[in-house]
Structure 1
Amino acid sequence: MRLAALPLLLAPLLLPAMTQAANLIVCTEASPEGFDVVQYNSLTTTNASADVLMNRLVDFDAQGARLVPSLAESWTVSADGLTYDFKLRSGVKFHSTEYFKPTRDLNADDVLFSFNRMLDASNPWHKIAQSGFPHAQSMQLPALIKAIEAPDPHTVRFVLNRADATFLATLSMGFASIYSAEYTAQLLKAGTPEKLNTQPIGTGPFVFKRFQKDAVVRYSGNPDYFAGKPAIDTLVYAITPDANVRLQKVRRNECQVALSPKPLDIQAASEDPNLKVEKTEAFMTAFVAINTQHPPFDKPEVRQAVNLAFDKANYLKAVFEGTAESAAGPFPATTWSYAKDLPGYAHDVAKAKALVAKAGLKDGTKTTIWTRPSSSLLNPNPGLGAQLLQADLKQIGIDAEIRVIEWGELIRRAKAGEHDLLFMGWAGDNGDPDNFLTPQFSCAAVQSGTNFARYCDKGLDTLITDGKATSDQAARSKLYQQAQAQIQQQALWLPLAHPTAAVLTRKEVSGYQVSPFGRQDFYKVTVK
């Protein structure tokens, strides 16, 4: 989520010919699932597509905690909260590549295409997305948006069926990125619509060049970017699953930025005179999703027993090593509407055993624990975390098999609801608590796949929906606190941690800021 303020262009750096000051290599932890960001919900994919290649109508300024202009230079909202008019910025150009040469600048047709594709089942692009539109579906945009109109080529009007306090902030999310209607028409005419996922086009600060799965993504600086050409000429994502290898690479200057370091690596980097550790409190929650559609976890007593049996203090010490706060529910404690007085689940093996017996499992049961192979900010040590959970469940008669699944496959299968217990994490996009509630606990999100607990309850759904229907923050807080109470009582998650977001950089890197939402902005970065 980039700031809309347009920085002055930086003068070219005069450096020896042997240096590559205009290149930036970023060591990342996993491959993106693709580049058609609307089809996916993982942060890894958003980082590789929406964050560098694309723009949205508005952005969220994390430092100022406010929405700011992006492709829309201004907007107005009607008094009844049902009509939003966006005035588009003039002169915004789409990327020019070997596979696409735009003949016009961005206009309202591009915005209409980008949203109608997700909302209109009759749109020819609607059924082409093999992974569907998880965010648009879980956010219930097809039911929310009554019409999208273009009063003129540089004005877009959204008409809603009901007022929604989260609508404007939702437009800053990666899935709301704006696509080229001209490029997609070209692909459809050629009979190659799948290329939108492998040969992306956007308006963002970097232009896609090449992707080699599990190896590298290459981008070049966009000379026609509306905010001015970035100082970086070449941006490379070096896909490096092992966190220790990422540390070694940044030490050797094989990459200048390393994402998702392990806690021990953060300590090591802080003692290295050539490195910097950039930190911020993350608006994120690590958790184990409990699939309520799979027996025996369809019984709340068993889900509650899982929460009671797990020694969370031991887990936090072993896995996060002092770099995270204990999570009691879906929201970080700094979130407005956070319910601080909920009882939670203290570690109590005897009580957990009693609940398992009450659920009719006196002879025990078997299950599976799914986790990823590579470390991440929300799961610094996947293997150790899964083993700790496995051992604690064993104490209450639940025999769990650990399954390590490649990230892309893990996400795909988890969205289909194949998991039992799933180590997962969620990052909010703009500080609004609904960024956790609607995607993770609404009935619509069960259908879209982002509700990993697979829990649909009319009462909880009503609390979430009513919370979005009013702009009164006090009223919203009351509803959201009731929702948190139900989520905790039903034990839909095993909440784990709210981490500190940290990124390692070389001393030569300037202008990089860690996002509390896990987003990546390399537009303002320079390398001396």
Structure 2
Amino acid sequence: MRAAALPLLFTTLFASAAAMAGPLSVCTEASPEGFDVVQYNSLTTTNASADVLMNRLVEFDAAQGKVVPSLAESWEVSADGLVYDFKLRPGVKFHTTKYFKPTRALDADDVLFSFERMLFPAHAWHKLAPGGYPHAQSLQLPGLIKSVEAPDPQSVRFTLDHADATFLATLSMGFASIYSAEYADQLLKAGTPEKLNSQPIGTGPFVFQRFQKDAVVRYRANPDYFAGKPAVDPLIFAITPDANVRLQKLKRNECQIALSPKPLDIAEAGKDSNLKVESTPAFMTAFVAINSQHPPLDKPEVRQAINLAFDRPNYLKAVFEDTGTAATGPYPPNTWSYAKDLPGYPTDLKKAQALLAKAGLPEGFSTTIWTRPSGSLLNPNPNLGAQMLQADLAKVGIKAEIRVIEWGELIRRAKAGEHDLLFMGWAGDNGDPDNFLTPQFACSAVKSGTNFARYCDNRLDQLISAGRTTNDQSVRSRLYQQAQALIQQQALWLPLAHPTAAVLTRQGVEGYQVNPFGRQDFATVTTPR
């Protein structure tokens, strides 16, 4: 099958918007962990790197619900689903900066470098990522992709070991961004490969300028962007952990867009004639991961007791202020394989105590609750949420100490499996239900660190793998519903909520659309001068 080339009608739109060009300041909630996006799995890092600096072979258009061309203008897939041939868009330029001046346009060598360093241990760059490649590893790409070849400079061929229904959508994810092989060679020869993480180069709509941790990331508009230079210039990420401060900055026009507002802030902004609220149902789930490798959390009865002790309606009312819907499993209700008839865990303290007694813990036990210091879309009020869970667990004899850990350290240590109970959230990147299962529950994801429940089970692994090997949606749905039932029976998560993705903007900001996956696109935004 073939995807039609994407017509470049954007240039006229960008040119007409140029008259409205001006700076755009976005109040974000946390610092990125770095800019070499393949090393990380947090949405904050994807937003600051992949979304503004880079492009992928394809993108997932949330409005259309399908994969569309990007750096690849077209592609073909063999009848057996094993060979993907991509035709690259000609004349795409990498960023020119003080530290790198490209001598050629993007070609197949850049695609080969971008994937081979993640896939093949013998590659010169493979061991140069201190954090490894969590997405590539959890999605089992080294075992899926047999080879990446360049039939000619403008063509790339992926040959798979077996058919995979998720492969094309996977290529739209942030970690599949295309890097400059020429820049990588320059860094390797200079003995400074770590600069790929601090001085990034891409083909995207904005060019990196500087980063001050916990303060600001500055970008300038890319004059050579293949879809036309963005209207806003410069683009500034004003890192503002406190949601209340983000709102006040928006009101003072110090920011024109504020991400991750609290529910009360959304209500307040709706009453302000100078502000707008943009929202959409989010393809996300907030949860508490239960580390199944830490006794006594390794016992399903204990994990079930935690779920039964939790007062979810009270939590939703207090923390999400009724802006989120209750979660009973990993999938949001707008997922096509959502198991709507699975029973949840209603609050039942007596049953929870009975399960603890069955597990040999009639007097309860001690544990820890890990959470972040600042609020986000998936955790609007971290301190309150942790305190409510702590109080609920105390009712059945579980003594939980709350540990507030800075976001970057929290992610790093959680990926290493140091946590007991961990407030976390997951955003699907590409509309495919597997994007919740493989990264969060596959055995390979325990090794890569994204499986925060640290649970590896052959039955569950086989269900997840089988669902990826067929394009028959009815078969995939049946397998994924069985997987959801097993996840719930084992109580690997304490599911919390499915939020509404909301962003606050100033009046006069046009062209911004909230993405249900939490991705950010500022290339089409205009602001009044």
Shorter-normalised TM-score: what interval? over 0.9
Does the CA-based 8 Å contact 1:4-1:59 persist in structure 2?
no
- 1:426 partner SS: strand
Structure 2: 5+ residue runs without aligned partners? none
Output the amino acid matched with 1:436: F
Partner residue in 1 for 2:15? 10
- Matched residue type, 1:10: A
Letter in 2 for 1:157: R
Matched, 1:377 2:377: yes
Deviations 1:451-501 (A, max 9, x none): 000000001000000000000000000000000000000000000000000
Closer, same or farther in 2 for the Cα pair 1:123/1:398, shift >3 Å?
Answer: same
Asked if the contact 1:371–1:404 (Cα under 8 Å) also holds between the matched residues in 2, the reply is yes
Q: Give the Cα–Cα distance (whole angstroms) in 2 for the partners of residues 128 and 492 of structure 1.
A: 33
Correspondence list, 1:41-56, <5 A = 41-56=41-56
Q: Secondary structure at the match of 2:126?
A: coil
In structure 2, distance between residues paired with 1:411 and 1:11: 42
AA paired with 2:442? S
1:167 is matched with 167
CA gap of 1:513–1:14, structure 2 versus 1, over 3 A, is closer
Partner of 2:341: 341
Check if 1:356 corresponds to 2:352: no
Contact 2:370 2:423 survives alignment (8 Å): yes
Partner of 1:119: 119
Partner of 1:447: 447
The answer to whether the 8 Å contact 1:369/1:386 transfers is yes
Secondary structure of residue in 2 paired with 1:335? coil
Task: Give, in whole Å, the separation in 1 of the partners of 2:305 and 2:80.
Answer: 46
3-state secondary structure, aligned to 1:323: coil
* Cα distance change of structure 1 residues 494 and 5 upon mapping to structure 2, 3 Å threshold: farther
Q: 1:292 to 1:504 in 2, by over 3 A?
A: same
Contact 1:220–1:234 (8 Å) recurs in 2 = yes
Deviation at 1:5, TM superposition (A): 5.3
Distance 1:358 1:13 in 2: 68
Q: 1:445 aligns to what SS in structure 2?
A: helix
User: 1 CA distance for matches of 2:363 and 2:22?
Assistant: 63
Mapping of residues 432-511 of structure 1, within 5 Å: 432-511=432-511
Specify the alignment match of 1:28 in structure 2. 28
Identity of aligned residues (%): 77
Residue 430 of structure 1: CA displacement? Answer: 1.4
Residues 426-465 of structure 1: per-residue CA shift (max 9 Å, x gap)? 0001111000000000000000000000000001000000
Corresponding letter in the other structure for 2:508: E
Amino acid at match of 2:15: L
Q: Secondary structure at the match of 2:35?
A: coil
1:186 maps to what in 2? 186
> Which range moves more in the overlay, 338-347 or 446-455?
338-347
Measure, in 2, the Cα distance between the counterparts of 1:234 and 1:72: 27
- Aligned equivalents of 2:228, 2:17: Cα separation in 1: 13
Deviation, structure 1 residue 11: 3.0
Q: Deviations over 1:2-27 (max 9, x none)?
A: x9553223336557xxxxx5100000
How far apart, CA to CA, are the structure 2 residues paired with 1:261 and 1:11? 31
How do 1:240-255 residues align onto structure 2 when only pairs under 5 Å count?
240-255=240-255
Post-superposition CA distance 1:262-286 (Å, at most 9, x none): 0000000000000000000000000
User: In the alignment, residue 348 of structure 1 is paired with which amino acid?
Assistant: D
Q: Secondary structure at the match of 2:235?
A: strand
Cα distance between partner residues in 2 of 1:211 and 1:432: 33
Distance 1:444 1:182, change over 3 A: same
Q: Normalized against structure 1, the TM-score is what?
A: 0.98
2:526 counterpart of 1:514: no
Per the alignment, residue 18 of structure 1 pairs with none
Q: How many residues align?
A: 521
1:3-402 aligned within 5 A: 6=8, 7=10, 8=12, 9-11=14-16, 21-402=21-402
